[in-house]
A and B are shown apart, each in its own frame.
Chain A
Amino acid sequence: MARVVVDVMLKPEILDPQGRAVQGALTRLGLSGVTDVRQGKRFEITLDGTLDPERETALNRLAEELLANPVIEDFTLRIDEGAG
């Protein structure tokens, strides 16, 4: 079993109104000194067998085509070595 983690974040220059709302809530709930909150998405993908180069290439392509929209988002993909 292999596990791959894809993190998707809005590019730094893109306004994140959800993150801003969370920032406001954190401050309202008593946390001082919050200067920024950015909200992203995390995908944990579990595959059977081992992750061969072919599937790793496909995952990279699909992360760019499906999981993230490169117009507004960046992604990082890492293989979770602890799995299996």
Chain B
Amino acid sequence: MTRVGVVTFPGSLDDGDVQRAVGIAGAQPVPLWHGDTSIGEVDAVVVPGGFSYGDYLRCGAIARFAPIMADVVHHAGDGLPVLGICNGFQILCETHLLPGVLTRNESLHYVCRDQALTVERTSTAWTDGYEQGERIVVPVKHGEGRYVADDETLDWLEGEGLIVVRYAEGNPNGSFRDIAGISNEAGNVVGLMPHPEHAVEDLTGTPGTDGLRFFTSVLRSLVG
């Protein structure tokens, strides 16, 4: 059975929901602890949302130096699928696995709502179950989700087709170019602010199950 590691930091909130989503997708969730130095025998890793280390200093700035992250970064370089959600996306930016940074929402308000997204890049380990241009609805909940990078980086992301999901029907945080999620060039590392793990069941996922394919995609990419 495919094993998907889910990292827990002090202050992680969504590790339980990610583990549940991984299980629903048909893989075995493997809890990983921030203080461990090895990810062990896993086929993919999810860095979940929350407020790691209390968001002190900057979101993700201290989690970046957690012992487990060195091993995650090492294996990401070898092609290990890594997904960062919300605070996990902030951490992946701080580790420089992904360019740019997430800053305080332009409105200064914490935003929690169902959010329409357009899937733009499907040639990643986490999104190949979607159609390019597909409109999905997934919850967002964050106070610091405004993606910021210099124009050169933004043009490069656009030119290489590395923008994975973009906000549709309204930008919740002032993110540059409506960016909700990006990937590295190889497509094994993806980070996004919206929470696909909160949209995997009809009972509780108000918008439906549009998020589930992030987790089934990685199974397919590992098996295929």
Contacts and interface: CB of A to CB of B under 8 A. Distances in A.
Contact of B101 (A17, A18, A67, A71): A71
Contact of B103 (A21, A66, A67, A72): A72
Nearest to A14: B148
A14 B57 CA distance: 18
Contacts of A21: 108
B148 A72 contact: yes
Interface string A2-23: 0000000000001101100100
Interface of B: 57-58, 61, 65, 93-94, 99-101, 103-108, 148-150, 174
Given A17-B108, A69-B94, 15 more contacts: A14-B103, A15-B103, A15-B174, A18-B104, A21-B108, A66-B57, A66-B65, A67-B57, A69-B58, A69-B101, A71-B100, A71-B150, A72-B101, A72-B103, A72-B148
A17 B106 contact: yes
A24 B106 CA distance: 15
Nearest to B105: A17
Interface in A57-74: 66-67, 69, 71-72
